[in-house]
């Protein structure tokens, strides 16, 4: 009989594949280092750390590798005669315990980063870092005790069908990335019941994992996957014939390349918040400019809409020190943070403007509720333009500035907002949660979380009408843009473009 593992924490979606159980390095029994070998080990460690600057290590981690406290603790441990691996593990635990013990959420979150960095060093020391993620076979379901931010960067998502872990939360970085890739995740599972090579059916919606199911069960499940992901040909035809433009959502330059190769007409939503997460400090203007320019160039002349930082809410930014909030989704989030930290916002705007010299770039402001937020943001954009002009730095002087319509307030004043902006993009993920008063991550109220609920549908209709009156384009960039029924609704309502995750684009463009 099939065993079924259940939990109540997951990222939705259906997938099946072969279990790949990740085994992290465990404490070994290496011999202690003789004093004369110590210099050599120290050198080995230094070169290991210096050599860790591969793109698969997050910049936060690089910073941490430069942190004298970590290095000193490791070196002291070696000086006391510990083997290098033991020295790294002990340093990690010591520093992590110190951070977790100081009663501050931000510091506690950094404890995981320290463990993550040190785990990477240990894997490298043990020579087992290369094969953890590098040779994942196609159609794998990764099963792990816990997944770390740097793991997502090392993972080849094209081979990963689903993730199953014992620890972790749906708002973790790993889950945010998995969601954007359409990869279901089930967390809080007793993974001891799964062996490497087991065949797994993963139902993210039900937070359920079935181990070695019967053939019939697999067949039924396979049909479910078809229904889950497939947009019927008649809808695809409707989309093609309606002339609606098809853009892609992206969170990295890699995503953009994939989307363009898959036929996207451009990027309708480039999420920039990942640049601000999983690091200690904040990205400089220069760092942002480099990435935005790469993103623009990866579009090969097609348009790209860069969204200014949509941080806060469930996207924690350790470098910003935002006080803990009881209702983060109703608190300091996105444009509210940008306007309260103008220097931070201007650095991002300048970086985007500089990148605009290399293609067709639009700026998009998230979480707008009032007209004065738009006027304030636009004033800062103009200030940045003046500065760049004065220094002779090239940028697109005619750059379009638009907004995400994702709050009920923005819908209700969409006629006024339409007069201030160059475009609207409806964010159905948040719009649905705010209109329906149903947390987008809470499965208990998921029956209310329906982007086609009449209340949300009316909101979309109002926005399209307001945009139509002044002749600005309106797109949809929430997950609903990839849902067959919603797609049909958007086409019939007069939406100009859809922006969806690249796997959903196939068959929608000619």
Q: Residue 312 or residue 318: which is nearer to ligand PEP going by CB?
A: 312
Partner from Mg ion, ligand PEP, none binding residue 402, C-beta < 5-8 Å depending on class: none
Bridge-based pairing state of the strands 3-6 and 208-211:
antiparallel
Query: How many residues of this chain interact with Mg ion, rule: CB under 5 A?
Result: 3
Partner from ligand PEP, Mg ion, none binding residue 478, C-beta < 5-8 Å depending on class: ligand PEP
Partner from Mg ion, ligand PEP, none binding residue 428, C-beta < 5-8 Å depending on class: ligand PEP
Give the residue from 495, 491, 377, 373 showing the smallest Cα distance to 427. Answer: 495
Residue 143 CB contacts under 8 Å (≥ 6 apart), including other chains: 19, 20, 21, 22, 164, 165, 191, 194, 200
Q: Residue 16 or residue 404: which is nearer to ligand PEP going by CB?
A: 404
Q: Residue 266 or residue 427: which is nearer to Mg ion going by CB?
A: 427
Token duo for residue 209: 């994992």
**Per annotation, catalytic residue among 61, 173, 175, 491:** 173
Partner from Mg ion, ligand PEP, none binding residue 209, C-beta < 5-8 Å depending on class: none
Give the residue from 19, 24, 26 showing the smallest Cα distance to 143. Answer: 19
- Kindly write down the DSSP assignment for every residue of 421-469, as one continuous string: -S-EEE-HHHHHHHHHT--TT-GGGTTT--TTSHHHHHHHHHHHHHHHH
Neighbours of 79 (CB within 10 A): 14
Q: Residue 85 or residue 333: which is nearer to Mg ion going by CB?
A: 333
Q: 19 forms bridges with which residues in the sheet?
A: 141
Q: Residue 161 or residue 181: which is nearer to Mg ion going by CB?
A: 181
**Per annotation, catalytic residue among 175, 299, 384, 477:** 477
Q: Residue 373 or residue 406: which is nearer to Mg ion going by CB?
A: 406
Least Cβ distance, residue 195 to ligand PEP (angstroms): 36
Least Cβ distance, residue 208 to ligand PEP (angstroms): 25
Least Cβ distance, residue 359 to ligand PEP (angstroms): 22
**Helix (H) or strand (E) segment spanning residue 304:** strand 303-307
Partner from ligand PEP, Mg ion, none binding residue 477, C-beta < 5-8 Å depending on class: ligand PEP
Partner from ligand PEP, Mg ion, none binding residue 132, C-beta < 5-8 Å depending on class: none
What's the angle, vertex CA 292, arms to CA 288 and CA 296, rounded to 5? 170
Give the residue from 497, 491, 406, 506 showing the smallest Cα distance to 456. Answer: 406
DSSP code at position 199:
E
Distance CA 224, CA 203 (A): 10
Query: Among residue numbers 173 through 232, which ones bind Mg ion (CB under 5 A)?
Result: none
Least Cβ distance, residue 429 to ligand PEP (angstroms): 3
Q: Residue 94 or residue 408: which is nearer to ligand PEP going by CB?
A: 408
Q: Tell me if residue 477 is catalytic.
A: yes
Q: Tell me if residue 40 is catalytic.
A: no
Least Cβ distance, residue 327 to ligand PEP (angstroms): 16
Bridge-based pairing state of the strands 267-270 and 400-405:
unpaired
Q: Residue 198 or residue 430: which is nearer to Mg ion going by CB?
A: 430
Distance CA 1, CA 214 (A): 8
Give the residue from 378, 441, 374 showing the smallest Cα distance to 409. Answer: 374
Least Cβ distance, residue 381 to ligand PEP (angstroms): 21
Partner from ligand PEP, Mg ion, none binding residue 41, C-beta < 5-8 Å depending on class: none
Bridge-based pairing state of the strands 199-203 and 208-211:
antiparallel
Return the residue matching tokens 């359920």. Answer: 208
Q: Residue 373 or residue 430: which is nearer to ligand PEP going by CB?
A: 430
**Contacts by residues 215-223 (CB-CB < 8 Å, ≥ 24 positions apart):** 217/2, 218/16, 221/14, 221/16, 222/16
Cα torsion 113, 114, 117, 120: sign: negative
Distance CA 6, CA 211 (A): 11
Distance CA 282, CA 317 (A): 9
The reply to whether 113 sits near Mg ion by the rule CB under 5 A is: no
Least Cβ distance, residue 24 to Mg ion (angstroms): 34
Q: 199 forms bridges with which residues in the sheet?
A: 18
> What is the b/e burial string over 197-224, where b = at least 16 CB atoms within 10 angstroms of the residue's CB?
ebbbbbbbebbbbbbbbeeeebeebeee
Least Cβ distance, residue 440 to Mg ion (angstroms): 9
Token duo for residue 179: 């969601």
Chain position whose Cβ is nearest to Mg ion: 430
Least Cβ distance, residue 479 to Mg ion (angstroms): 10
The reply to whether 312 sits near Mg ion by the rule CB under 5 A is: no
Return the residue matching tokens 């470098």. Answer: 319
Partner from ligand PEP, Mg ion, none binding residue 152, C-beta < 5-8 Å depending on class: none
Query: Among residue numbers 382 through 441, which ones bind Mg ion (CB under 5 A)?
Result: 406, 427, 430
- For binding to ligand PEP (CB under 6 A), which residues are involved? 269, 271, 310, 406, 427-430, 477-478
- Residues involved in catalysis: 173, 477
The footprint of Mg ion (CB under 5 A) covers 406, 427, 430
């Amino acid at each position: 009989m099939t065993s079924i593992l259940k939990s109540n924490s997951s990222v939705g979606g259906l997938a099946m594949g072969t279990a790949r159980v990740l085994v992290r390095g465990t404490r070994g029994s290496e011999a202690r280092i003789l004093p004369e070998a110590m210099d050599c080990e120290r050198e080995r460690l230094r070169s290991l750390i210096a050599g860790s600057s591969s793109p698969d290590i997050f910049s936060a981690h690089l910073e941490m590798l430069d942190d004298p406290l970590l290095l000193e603790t490791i070196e002291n441990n070696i000086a006391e005669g510990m083997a290098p691996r033991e020295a790294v593990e002990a340093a990690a635990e010591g520093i992590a315990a110190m951070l977790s013990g100081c009663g501050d959420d931000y510091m506690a979150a950094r404890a995981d980063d320290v463990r993550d960095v040190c785990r990477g060093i240990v894997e490298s020391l043990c020579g087992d870092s290369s094969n953890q993620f590098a040779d994942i076979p196609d159609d794998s379901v990764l099963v792990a005790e816990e997944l770390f931010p740097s793991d997502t960067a090392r993972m080849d998502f094209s081979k990963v069908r689903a993730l199953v872990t014992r620890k972790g939360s749906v708002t973790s970085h790993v889950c945010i990335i998995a969601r954007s890739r359409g990869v279901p995740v089930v967390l809080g599972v007793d993974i001891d019941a799964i062996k490497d090579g087991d065949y797994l059916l993963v139902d993210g919606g039900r937070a359920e994992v079935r181990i070695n199911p019967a053939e019939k069960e697999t067949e039924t499940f396979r049909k479910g996957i078809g229904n889950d992901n497939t947009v019927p040909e008649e809808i695809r035809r409707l989309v093609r014939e309606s002339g609606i433009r098809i853009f892609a959502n992206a969170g990295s330059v890699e995503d953009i390349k994939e989307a363009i190769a898959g036929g996207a007409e451009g990027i309708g939503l480039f999420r920039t918040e990942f640049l601000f997460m999983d690091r200690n400090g904040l990205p400089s203007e220069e760092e942002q400019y480099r990435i935005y320019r790469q993103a623009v160039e990866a579009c090969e002349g097609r348009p790209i809409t860069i969204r200014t930082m949509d941080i806060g809410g469930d996207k924690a930014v350790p470098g910003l020190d935002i006080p803990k909030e009881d209702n983060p989704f109703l608190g300091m989030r996105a444009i509210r943070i940008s306007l309260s930290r103008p220097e931070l916002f201007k650095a991002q705007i300048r970086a985007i403007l500089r990148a605009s010299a290399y293609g067709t770039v639009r700026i998009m402001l998230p979480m707008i509720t009032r007209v004065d937020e738009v006027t304030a943001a636009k004033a800062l954009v103009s200030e940045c333009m003046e500065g760049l002009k004065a220094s002779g730095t090239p940028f697109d002087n005619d750059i379009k500035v638009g907004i995400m319509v994702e709050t009920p307030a923005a819908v209700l004043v969409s006629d006024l907002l339409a007069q201030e902006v160059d475009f609207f993009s409806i964010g159905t993920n948040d719009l649905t949660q705010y209109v329906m008063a149903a947390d987008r991550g809470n499965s208990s109220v998921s029956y209310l979380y329906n982007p086609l609920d009449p209340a949300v549908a009316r909101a979309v209709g109002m926005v399209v009408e307001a945009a139509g009156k002044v002749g600005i384009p309106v797109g949809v960039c929430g997950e609903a843009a990839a849902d067959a029924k919603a797609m049909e609704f958007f086409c019939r309502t007069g939406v100009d473009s859809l922006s969806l995750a690249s796997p959903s684009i196939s068959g929608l463009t000619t």
